[in-house]
Amino acid sequence: MLKEFGDKKDVKHPINSSRKIVVLRVEKLDQNMRVIQFREAIAEAMSEEMRRDEKVFLLGEEVAEYNGAYKASQGMLDEFGPKRIIDTPIAELGFAGIAAGAAMNGLRPIVEFMTFNFSLVAIDQLINSAAKMMQMSNGQFPMPMVFRGPTASAGQLGAQHSQAFESWYANCPGLKVVCPSNPYDAKGLLKAAIRDNDPVIFMESEQMYGDKGEVPEGEYIIPIGVADIKREGTDVTIVSFGKIIKKALEAAEQLAEEGISAEVIDLRSVRPIDYDTIITSLKKTNRLVVVEEAWPLASISSEISFTVQREAFDHLDAPVKRVCTADVPMAYAPNLVEEFMPQVSKIIEEVKSVLYVK
């Protein structure tokens, strides 16, 4: 149920002065909703699936006795015991390989990486075992497993702990790559990932675990590969995913104050990508800006830009623009972190450039 609140506001349109935009604030109301943290949504999804299916188990560094490095497995050891909530040594290659073998034998493991920066130690198991086994065995060995944990930067953590790996894993056929941006999506998508018979890379953020949002008490699943329009608009389409969607929405809010109506699409997964939703929006707005926390070369925004010009070139009234990170390893100094990351000001600048307004 949706309820409007606050005053309607008429804003002069930046391109067509005879047209006005009505900006509405919307509040979701549902008596069965609770406001919980992102980490709690993750824990609920895993716990519900473990109650539903005894083949599901969790392993990783500090997931049991410590309740997870980011407390995303809080209380699960007490409920499910040490045979299903398993603390591992600091050996990502080893426990990723154990999980791949377990999946081949009919179990449904969830692997938590303390950070996807550490998944590089285990990447052989993800790419050469998990992603390929279904095809190499002619379908005899499905690989129902989830690799989850935080990706990308979390502030001043230095170059080796601040890398975004969405496009790396999305490059590999055989994997699905999911990037939720809020607690509601995180729970529904993680439950879908656990039930999927393909290996799923489920990418979170250290800076989102404390985020709060409405999550229903009842059962729900969000299908992988379906984007969500987080904000409707008519002048420009902004596409993003993961924690950076918050900056896209903030930019859209500021643009609305200037009379620019931005539609914001949250991809939610980057393999598969929901191109239909992007192109449908583009046919309405005729302009596209893609925002992601990743280096620009061979990125998700590169792939979207190529596909849009191939499939919807005649609907573009301006070149596709991208807002990515700087094309350098991320530094430690806070002023350089600020320069490295996509910022609201950069998003607004690119939106105005495709609208040809100052």
**330 and 324 in contact (C-beta within 8 Å)?**
no
Please write the tens of the pLDDT for every residue from 20-56. 433 333 334 454 889 999 999 999 999 999 999 999 9
Asked if pLDDT for residue 323 goes beyond 60, the answer is yes
Quote the percentage of the chain above a pLDDT of 90: 87
What is the C-alpha separation between 293 and 300, in angstroms, rounded?
10
Asked if pLDDT for residue 237 goes beyond 50, the answer is yes
Question: Which tokens belong to 267?
Answer: 């991809």
Asked if pLDDT for residue 14 goes beyond 70, the answer is no
The whole-number average pLDDT for the span 291-305 is 96
Quote the percentage of the chain above a pLDDT of 70: 91
Residue 343, CA atoms < 13 Å, CB-side half-sphere: 11
End-to-end CA distance of the chain: 38
Please write the tens of the pLDDT for every residue from 189-211. 999 999 999 999 999 999 999 99
Asked if pLDDT for residue 358 goes beyond 70, the answer is yes
Handedness of CA 341, 200, 177, 189 (dihedral sign): negative
Task: Give the 3-state DSSP-derived string for the chain, with helices as H, strands as E and coil as C.
Answer: CEEEEEEEEEEECCCCCCCEEEEEEEEECCCCEEEEEHHHHHHHHHHHHHHHCCCEEEEECCCCCCCCCCCCCCCHHHHHCCCCEEECCCCHHHHHHHHHHHHHCCCEEEEECCCHHHHHHHHHHHHHHHCCHHHHCCCCCCCCCEEEEECCCCCCCCHHHCCCCHHHHHCCCCCEEECCCCHHHHHHHHHHHHHCCCCEEEEECCCCCCCEEEEECCCCCCCCCCCEEEECCCCEEEEECHHHHHHHHHHHHHHHHCCCCEEEEECCEEECCCHHHHHHHHHHHCCEEEECCCCCCCCHHHHHHHHHHHHHHHHCCCCCEEECCCCCCCCCCHHHHHHHCCCHHHHHHHHHHHHCCC
Query: Across the chain, what does the average pLDDT equal?
Result: 91
Residue carrying structure tokens 């999550």 = 215
Asked if pLDDT for residue 232 goes beyond 50, the answer is yes
Asked if pLDDT for residue 19 goes beyond 60, the answer is no
The whole-number average pLDDT for the span 5-10 is 40
Asked if pLDDT for residue 342 goes beyond 50, the answer is yes
Hey, do 2-30+225-355 and 35-216 end up sharing a CATH topology, with the first three levels equal? yes
Asked if pLDDT for residue 354 goes beyond 90, the answer is yes
The whole-number average pLDDT for the span 199-224 is 96
Asked if pLDDT for residue 3 goes beyond 80, the answer is no
The whole-number average pLDDT for the span 258-272 is 98
Instruction: Indicate yes or no: pTM above 0.75.
Output: yes
What is the C-alpha separation between 63 and 76, in angstroms, rounded?
9
**239 and 292 in contact (C-beta within 8 Å)?**
no
Residues identified as active-site:
92, 161
| pLDDT at residue 51, rounded to an integer | 98
Which residue would you say has higher pLDDT here, 155 or 252? 252
Task: Tell me the pLDDT band of 310, cut-offs 50, 70 and 90.
Answer: very high
| pLDDT at residue 8, rounded to an integer | 40
How is the chain split into domains, by residue range? 2-30+225-355, 35-216
| pLDDT at residue 126, rounded to an integer | 97
What lies within 8 Å, CB to CB, of 237 at 6+ separation is: 262, 263, 265, 278, 281, 282, 284, 285, 287, 288, 289
Q: How many other CB atoms are there within 10 angstroms of residue 247's CB atom?
A: 21
Please write the tens of the pLDDT for every residue from 103-120. 999 999 999 999 999 999
Task: Tell me the pLDDT band of 149, cut-offs 50, 70 and 90.
Answer: very high
Q: In CATH, what is the architecture of 2-30+225-355?
A: 3-Layer(aba) Sandwich (3.40)
Question: Which tokens belong to 285?
Answer: 């707005």
What is the C-alpha separation between 132 and 93, in angstroms, rounded?
17
- Angle CA(267)–CA(16)–CA(357) in degrees, nearest 5? 65
- The closest of 108, 105, 107, 148 to 126, measured between CA atoms, is 148
| pLDDT at residue 328, rounded to an integer | 95
Asked if pLDDT for residue 13 goes beyond 60, the answer is no
- The closest of 335, 348, 174 to 252, measured between CA atoms, is 348
Asked if pLDDT for residue 243 goes beyond 50, the answer is yes
Asked if pLDDT for residue 173 goes beyond 60, the answer is yes
CATH of region 35-216, choose from 1.10.730.10, 3.40.50.970, 3.30.530.20, 3.40.50.300: 3.40.50.970
| pLDDT at residue 156, rounded to an integer | 87
